[in-house]
Structure 1
Amino acid sequence: MFRILLGREGRVWREALAAVLAAEEDLEVVAELAHTDEVPVVAARKRPDVVVLDHALPGSLTVPDLCEKLGAALPGSVVLVLMDQRGGALSTALARLAPRVGVLTTDATPWQLVESVRQLVRGETVLDAKVAVAALTARDNPLTDRERDVLRLAADGAPAKEIATELFLSAGTVRNYLSRVIAKTGARTRIEAIRIAQASGWI
């Protein structure tokens, strides 16, 4: 029986994924979380064999940082990251952590998800072909992890105050991050910066 910790924002999607995994006789979901900051604490207590994470899971820890942290704390565990096809820069960062970290696109079938979990446990590399292409064609990402966090929230329509609360920053710091992002992307506005970053696979 393989023990799974699941990290996914949105209760409906999280519980749906948990149901898919728990339906298998050899898989058991031992925890369901909605924030990256919760994962290391719960993982240390539950000692999962596999951690399944949404690439956009909110929190102060980025997913690559979280994967590194889990690798140090739980050397016997593996991580499967679910992400869309646009995350080229993120894909590159995660691909370097293979085979302990696998990457699967969010349009994968339930069967592919379950089989990917089993492959990782067997020590096999899991890297979706579409994600691999995105990683190979991604331009170098000029944005820092924190700038990407701020821009992702801005892309969801969150105002500076809300972003500041979510990331434990001041509103002024958030505005400074957004100004730097606009300058780095060569955009004229925040909206244009978001479009450039999304098209380049930086967020």
Structure 2
Amino acid sequence: MGGGAVIRVLLGHRGALLRGALATVFATEDDLEVVAVIDHGDDVLPASVRGQPDVMVLDVHLPGAVGIDVLARRSAAGGVLVLSDRDLSAGASLRLVRQAPRVGLIATDASPGELVGAIRQIARGEPVLDPELMLAAIRVRDNPLTDRECEVLKLVTTGATAQEVARKLCLSAGTVRNYLSRILTKTHARTRIEAIRKAEQAGWI
């Protein structure tokens, strides 16, 4: 944000101590204004509507419904900086990296100065990607599933039956079962649960 503009920040973190410490750090910066502090993922979208932040700084383990899809939707209106520990799975890293530059990824062991600098970068629309996490992401194998197969598998993750998936996608139940059979073959899985686990870990869905 150039010209001395103030960057409005929403902070979401599961830990009360770190949440308070980060809010204090941000408040000492002349160009940062903390407009909301939350401790649960379900509050992300409501708080962002109220506070209209330029950048959301979110703990990757924030409890509640704050998945990659939510971040992608929110990042259309403003930047998101995800605080991640270094044991984040390669698949999760890949899904975050794909949202760059509006979704950034920084390690939780970054210094306060690095974190503040990253917020400014995100606000300017510049990418912020932790090198180690990015390296893990780019090592993920190419997705063998088609877009439709991914769509079917995502619906299965919600607990939907083949019949429910068919209704949702305007397909026949037999067609959905064929998709599921191909998904099991491509993921080398014996069950749908195993296919979901493998696909999520690999960042395919």
Alignment TM-score, normalising by the size of structure 2: 0.66
> Which ranges of 4 or more aligned residues in structure 1 deviate by more than 6 Å?
140-147, 182-186
CA contact (8 A) 1:52 1:82 kept: yes
Alignment match, 2:84: 83
CA contact (8 A) 1:86 1:134 kept: no
Select the structure of larger CA radius of gyration: 2
Alignment match, 1:39: 44
Q: Kindly state the Cα deviation for residue 31 of structure 1 after the two structures are TM-superposed.
A: 0.8
Task: Among all aligned residue pairs of Structure 1 and Structure 2, give the percentage whose two residues are the same amino acid.
Answer: 45
Aligned residues: 156
Q: 1:4 aligned to 2, 9, 25, which one?
A: 9
CA contact (8 A) 2:75 2:103 kept: no
Q: Kindly state the Cα deviation for residue 10 of structure 1 after the two structures are TM-superposed.
A: 1.6
Q: 1:50 aligned to 55, 61, 77, which one?
A: 55
Q: Distance in 1 between matches of 2:128 and 2:91?
A: 17
Alignment match, 1:24: 29
| Residues 118-157 of structure 1 mapped to structure 2, 5 A cutoff | 118-138=120-140
Q: Kindly state the Cα deviation for residue 140 of structure 1 after the two structures are TM-superposed.
A: 7.6
The one-character-per-residue Cα deviations of 1:15-68 (angstroms, maximum 9, x if unpaired) are: 111111111111111111111111101100110011000111110332x12212
Alignment match, 1:70: 74
Give SS of 1:37's match. Answer: helix
Paired AA for residue 46 in structure 1: G
Q: Kindly state the Cα deviation for residue 180 of structure 1 after the two structures are TM-superposed.
A: 6.8
Alignment match, 1:154: none
CA contact (8 A) 1:37 1:61 kept: yes
Give SS of 2:132's match. Answer: helix
Q: Kindly state the Cα deviation for residue 138 of structure 1 after the two structures are TM-superposed.
A: 3.9
CA contact (8 A) 1:102 1:125 kept: yes
Paired AA for residue 33 in structure 1: I
CA contact (8 A) 1:91 1:131 kept: yes
Question: What are structure 1's unaligned runs of at least 5 residues?
Answer: 148-178, 187-196
CA contact (8 A) 1:89 1:140 kept: no
Structure-2 change in CA distance of 1:146 and 1:59 (3 Å): farther
The one-character-per-residue Cα deviations of 1:58-88 (angstroms, maximum 9, x if unpaired) are: 10332x122122134xx2x100001012222
| Residues 116-195 of structure 1 mapped to structure 2, 5 A cutoff | 116-138=118-140
Structure-2 change in CA distance of 1:140 and 1:23 (3 Å): farther
Paired AA for residue 32 in structure 2: L
Alignment match, 2:112: 110
Give SS of 1:6's match. Answer: strand
Alignment TM-score, normalising by the size of structure 1: 0.66
Q: Kindly state the Cα deviation for residue 137 of structure 1 after the two structures are TM-superposed.
A: 2.7
Give SS of 2:81's match. Answer: strand
Paired AA for residue 72 in structure 2: E
CA contact (8 A) 1:55 1:82 kept: yes
Q: Kindly state the Cα deviation for residue 91 of structure 1 after the two structures are TM-superposed.
A: 1.2
Q: Distance in 1 between matches of 2:82 and 2:136?
A: 15
CA contact (8 A) 1:36 1:66 kept: no
Give SS of 2:41's match. Answer: coil
Alignment match, 1:152: none
The one-character-per-residue Cα deviations of 1:120-161 (angstroms, maximum 9, x if unpaired) are: 1112111011111121234689996997xxxxxxxxxxxxxx
